[in-house]
Every structure is written in C-alpha cells, then in structure tokens.
Amino acid sequence: MASSFDIPLKRIDGSETTLADYADKVLLVVNVASKCGLTPQYDGLEALYAKYKDRGLVVVGFPANNFAGQEPGSNEEIADFCRSTYGVDFPMFAKISVKGEDRHPLYDWLAGDEDITWNFEKFLIGRDGAIAARFSPKTVPDDPAVVAAIETALAVA
C-alpha cells in the first residue's frame, strides 16, 4: 500500500470508501465499542468533532469486538446506538478487527508491530497522512494533550 489513503474501507452503511475521502483533513481514528466502560467517550469525541470540524478535523470511529465482546452488535445496531444514545454525527465505519490474525490493514498500518491495548485507543493523523500522535484508551478526548495535538495538526496547512 502506498499510504493510509489507499486502504479499502467500508462505511457503517456498507458502502465502499477509503480515507482518501478525507485527504487534507486531520483525522482522529478511534476503535470504539458500545458496551465498554469507556463508551461515554463518544460524548467527548462528538464534542471534539463539533468544535473542530469546520477547521478540518474528522473523527472516524471503527467499531471492534476484540476486547471482552464489548461490541457484539451488527453495523446497523451500532449506528442506531451511536446516534440515539450519543448523537454521533462523525463518520462511523463498518465493524473491523483491530488485533489478532484478522487485524484490518488500517490497524496494521496504524499500530505496526504494537498491539491495540483496548477500546477507544486514538490515533491522530495529520493532513499529510502521517501519524502525528497516539493516545491510550483511558486518555479522554478533551484531555489537554489530545486538544494540543489536534490544534497543532490543524495549524499545519
């Protein structure tokens, strides 16, 4: 693969896409789950998206059922849950695997030889398509380090 922009993806509605749809944007890529103790982070992720989307930030959610079966639902159930419970407006993608033998190529690229440790791990990708920062699952979306990294990435033309 030439870059992260070339990796085939599916939106949560099943339509085909790539991250090239978000070229020249700053992306916050998050593996999400509906039945995790960290699930309330959806509120913070949506708040970040609402605050910074006009400046070029796109939060992208990738549901994954790799940790304690905390994302058991179908794509349709996940989409309904995210909209109705947290008012999620940021782009959601089809459920994928983020670790193990069947790990999605996006997460091969994001994590490299390292493992994803839990739900809600965050990767900030700059406008150039390179990884700018990585944040642990317990780092909340409005943590000053996350906000500072987003502000820095958005300042790069």
Using an 8 Å Cβ cutoff, are 79 and 12 in contact?
yes
3-state helix, strand, coil in the chain (%, to 5): 35, 20, 45
DSSP 15-30: -EE-GGGGTTSEEEEE
Using an 8 Å Cβ cutoff, are 93 and 10 in contact?
yes
Helix (H, G, I), strand (E, B) or coil at 81: helix
- Please report, as a single letter, which amino acid is at residue 101: E
- Please report, as a single letter, which amino acid is at residue 118: W
Kindly list the catalytic residues: 36
How far is it, in rounded angstroms, from Cα 13 to Cα 74?
Answer: 11
